[in-house]
Every structure is written in structure tokens, then in C-alpha cells.
């Protein structure tokens, strides 16, 4: 009998503990709730064209760099982002100003903001401008930032592929880091094969990893590219810049178009070149206005494509639609030095990604871009507030799993 009473007593105590009622000293209920995680869900859209965006992971701030200096792509030769103007904008080497201000490409809050904006505009993946594996110039920083980006892409549910800059191979050789340009490229490709190509969200075309080359610029013969690819287990689906696939010979699977002078060049490529290619990736852009001459970064490109209040993007998206593309590259997310940004800016707001969203045929017509920006602003404002950060983590998880109304509610409640 005593044993039954004792067991009954301890049973009641355990129930009270489980309910959090056993003691006034238990502070567990005051702890921030751990965010509920969800697998990413693809956005629903009606356009079957795969929409990718060219991405520059090369930006540094005075807080991110080892020498506490702003990176070249914000400064060029003569701009100082530490100088803040009357409009509360930093002085940067661009005619345009990012809505979130100049940033470090490896900042996880920046990456979160960029990828959520992409996802909700109907973009399928990111084509990352990549400078290889060698510690020459800023190449290592670009690689580190790239891998910060890759780490979050899977969480958001976006794909990616590499755009290899073969021009770097000459600088690697000149720095004494490799014995030849083909040797340097082989080292870079071997790294891709081990670390990027096997990833589930690495873009595959015709069953093989997609690899773009911005050129060729240094490796300009079929024999060189045959050598470069010779040590790979699987040769990638390899695309060169438009009208340059001949320099790679049979190693090239096709080409991708770019931006040049006016839309006539794009129209001609769609009409005359695209039908001859096994794989063709088209392009759309909002404009082009480089800052090189004004920033002391070398001679100007020599031509400008005006943004025309969105008319240029409308035109290039229309050309893409009429070309019946399987793959489209948006040029670019964030090349501020050349003025080709889709990333929201002070000047254009969300105009360009709203147009992409319409082109993609995103079924949910409500816009959440401002809420995604608010999420970023709160990440910065509440950086030392653990409770707020956990709530923002939950909002992020709702955004990636296509529960934007819940995400918006959380963001709106944080003061």
C-alpha cells in the first residue's frame, strides 16, 4: 500500500514537472522557441524556361577584409565608401546603389536576402562568376564567398553552376603558382569535380554538370580544352560565350549569349546561331552603363545601353520569350561596376525582379519583396538579440518552404 502511494506521489510530481508547474524557479518557458525547420519548396510558375542569374561574389567591405579596406569592386581606383554623402549613401564605384547598401559577398545575411529575392521572383538558380582555386589577387576571397553562397543555396532550394574565368590562368602562371595555363585550369576543374559537380543542386544539362566559360580568353584552342578536360571523370556540358565555341572545338556543347551594344546582336544570335547549337542559353538584361572611366578603373567599355525605365528589360525578355529558350541567363544580379543589376537598387527598387516574376509566370501574384528586405534590415538591427534572431530564422524557414504569409506575420511583429 505504501509503495502504491509513493508511486502515485511521484507520478503526480512528474506530471507537474512535465507541465512546467512544479516550481516557480523554472525559467524554461522564457527561453526562445527553437525554429521549426522545413525542406525548401519550389515556387509554382507557368514558364518552363529555366531562369538563371549571373552572380558576382567579389564584394568586400572594410569589416570583412583582413586589411580593413573596402574591396576594389566598391572603390575602383578613386572612390571611398567611408565617405557618406548627404543622402546617407556611401561613395561607391557605380552609378547605382544597392537597396541594402554596399556589402560583403560572404555575409550570410546578404546571401539570405539575395537568394530569397531570387526565389520569389521565379529564378531557378545562380551562375557564379568564379576565379579558381589559387591564392592570387582576390581569387581566394572570391572562392570563399562562393562557398558561403553555395552553403545556403540548398537551404533555399535553388540550383547553381560555375562560370569559369579562364583569364585567371595567365595570372596564376605569372605568379609562379602553376607551370602552365592548362595545368592551372586542370587544377581548378579537378576542384570543381570533387567539390561542386556532385552536389544534388548543381545544374545538370543532358545528364552532365553545366560549366560556362567567360571566353575563352586564354585557352583558345580545342587542343588546350581537350587537355584540360582529359583528367575529368565526366566531361561537363560546356558553354562558351556567344560565337566563341569554335575556340573549344568539340569540347563545347554550345554557347550562351551576353550583352553588347544593342538588342540587334541578341536578335541575330537567336536567328542565326541558336538553331545550330546543341545547347543554347539566351540572355536578358536591364541595361549597361559602366563606371570604369569615372572610377579610374581603366578605359570605359565604349558603349551604353540605357535602362529606359525598364523598357530595355521588357525588350530582352520579349526576345527571350519569342526565341523559345530552354535556358535563360539574367545579366547580372549584381555587377554594379557595369550597371547591369537585377538586384534591387535605390534607383529602380524591385522593378526588375517584378518583371522577372511576371516573365516566369509565378502563380502567387502577391509581392513579398519588401518583407524579405525587412527581414534583412531586422537581421542587422537585432544582431545582438538572440530571441529576435530565432524568430527571423523561423521566418526564413517559412519563406523557403513557400509559407510567405506566416513569414510576413513574424517579420511584422518584431519591433
DSSP string for residues in 365-401: -S--HHHHHHHHHHHHHTTT-HHHHHHHHHHHHHHHT
pLDDT 10s digits, 37-74? 899 999 999 999 999 999 999 999 999 878 889 999 99
Of the two residues 28 and 143, the one the predictor is more confident about is 143
Q: Is the pLDDT of residue 190 over 50?
A: yes
Give the start-end residues of each E strand in 252-309.
254-256, 279-284
The backbone region for 316, taken as left when phi is positive above 0, alpha when psi lies in -120 to 50, beta otherwise, is: alpha
Does the pTM surpass 0.85? The reply is yes
User: Quick one: which H or E segment has residue 359?
Assistant: helix 351-360
| pLDDT on residue 86 | 80
Please state, in angstroms and as integers, the Cα–Cα distance from residue 1 to each residue in 7, 8, 9, 15, 48, following that order: 10, 11, 12, 21, 74
For residue 286, give the DSSP letter: S
Q: Is the pLDDT of residue 12 over 90?
A: no
| pLDDT on residue 227 | 98
Amino acid at each position: 500500500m505504501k509503495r502504491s502511494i509513493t508511486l502515485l506521489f511521484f507520478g503526480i510530481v512528474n506530471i507537474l514537472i512535465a507541465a512546467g508547474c512544479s516550481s516557480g524557479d523554472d525559467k524554461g518557458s522564457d527561453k526562445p522557441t527553437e525554429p521549426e525547420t522545413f525542406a525548401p519548396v519550389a515556387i509554382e510558375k507557368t514558364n518552363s524556361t529555366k531562369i538563371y542569374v549571373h552572380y558576382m561574389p567579389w564584394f568586400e567591405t572594410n569589416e570583412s577584409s583582413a586589411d580593413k579596406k573596402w574591396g576594389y569592386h566598391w572603390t575602383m581606383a578613386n572612390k571611398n565608401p567611408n565617405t557618406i554623402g548627404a543622402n546617407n549613401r556611401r561613395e561607391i564605384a557605380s552609378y547605382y546603389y544597392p537597396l541594402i547598401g554596399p556589402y560583403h559577398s560572404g555575409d550570410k545575411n546578404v546571401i539570405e536576402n539575395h537568394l530569397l529575392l531570387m526565389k520569389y521572383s521565379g529564378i531557378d538558380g545562380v551562375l557564379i562568376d568564379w576565379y579558381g582555386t589559387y591564392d592570387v589577387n582576390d581569387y581566394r576571397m572570391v572562392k570563399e564567398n562562393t562557398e558561403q553562397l553555395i552553403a545556403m543555396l540548398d537551404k533555399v532550394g535553388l540550383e547553381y553552376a560555375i562560370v569559369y574565368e579562364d583569364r585567371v590562368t595567365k595570372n596564376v602562371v605569372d605568379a609562379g603558382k602553376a607551370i602552365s595555363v592548362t595545368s592551372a585550369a586542370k587544377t581548378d576543374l579537378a576542384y570543381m569535380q570533387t567539390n561542386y559537380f556532385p552536389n544534388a543542386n548543381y545544374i545538370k544539362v543532358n545528364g552532365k554538370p553545366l560549366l560556362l566559360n567567360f571566353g575563352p580568353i586564354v585557352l583558345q584552342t580545342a587542343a588546350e580544352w581537350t587537355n584540360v578536360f582529359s583528367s575529368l571523370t565526366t566531361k561537363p556540358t560546356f558553354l562558351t560565350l556567344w560565337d566563341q565555341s569554335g575556340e573549344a572545338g568539340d569540347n563545347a556543347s554550345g554557347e550562351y549569349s551576353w550583352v553588347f551594344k544593342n538588342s540587334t546582336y541578341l536578335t541575330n544570335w537567336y536567328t542565326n546561331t541558336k538553331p545550330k547549337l546543341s545547347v543554347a542559353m539566351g540572355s536578358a538584361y536591364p541595361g549597361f552603363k559602366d563606371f570604369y572611366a569615372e572610377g579610374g578603373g581603366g578605359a570605359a567599355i565604349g558603349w551604353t545601353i540605357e535602362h529606359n525605365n525598364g523598357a530595355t528589360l521588357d525588350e530582352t525578355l520579349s526576345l527571350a520569350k519569342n526565341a523559345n529558350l530552354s535556358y535563360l541567363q539574367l545579366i547580372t544580379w549584381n555587377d554594379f561596376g557595369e550597371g547591369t543589376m537585377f538586384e534591387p537598387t535605390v534607383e529602380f527598387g524591385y522593378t526588375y525582379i517584378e518583371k522577372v516574376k511576371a516573365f516566369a509566370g509565378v502563380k502567387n501574384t502577391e509581392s513579398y519583396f519588401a518583407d524579405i528586405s525587412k527581414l534583412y534590415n531586422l537581421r542587422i538591427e537585432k544582431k545582438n538579440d538572440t530571441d529576435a534572431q530565432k524568430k527571423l530564422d523561423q521566418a526564413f524557414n517559412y519563406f523557403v518552404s513557400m509559407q510567405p504569409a506566416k513569414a510576413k506575420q513574424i517579420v511584422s511583429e518584431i519591433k
